[in-house]
């Protein structure tokens, strides 16, 4: 049972570099989410998607872009990484909110920007 899989698990970048975080789910969920978790701040929603081909901004979207070309995948991109983007990034997925179901989380990507 894979559930939600995030790659990579760890990454170190230099300021200004770009990268893409991949999230894949095998539960046929409509909704997918990207969060960041920082000490003392809790989890904050970056972007989310309510279906293939759709994306929407969350609480802290600046500096990030997302794409949902396939239902099972949700990509998070950093075009020009900044030290303030050092964080643990979590992807989650859920059924549509026509059915009230919990969000399922991946194990996270630990990203350090030097």
Under rule CB under 8 A, residue 19 binds other proteins: no
In the complex, least distance from residue 16 CB atom to other proteins, rounded to whole angstroms: 28
Neighbours of 2 (CB within 10 A): 9
- What are 112's strand-pairing partners? 12
Ranges within 60-79 binding other proteins (CB under 8 A): none
Q: Which one, 11 or 44, has the nearer CB to other proteins? A: 44
| CA-to-CA separations, 13 to 34, 39, 65, in angstroms, rounded | 19, 20, 17
Q: Which one, 19 or 50, has the nearer CB to other proteins? A: 50
Exactly one of 55, 85, 87, 94 binds other proteins (CB under 8 A); that residue is 94
């Amino acid at each position: 049972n894979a559930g939600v899989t995030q790659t990579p698990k760890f990454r170190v970048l230099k300021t200004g570099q770009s990268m893409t975080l991949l999230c894949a789910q095998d539960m046929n969920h409509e909704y997918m989410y990207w969060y960041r978790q920082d000490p003392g701040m809790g989890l904050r929603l970056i972007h989310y998607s309510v279906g293939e081909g759709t994306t929407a901004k969350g609480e802290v979207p600046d500096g990030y872009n997302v794409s949902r070309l396939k239902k099972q995948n949700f990509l998070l991109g950093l075009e020009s990484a900044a030290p303030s983007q050092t964080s643990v990034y979590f992807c989650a997925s859920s059924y549509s909110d026509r059915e009230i179901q919990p969000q399922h989380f991946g194990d996270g990507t630990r990203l350090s920007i030097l």
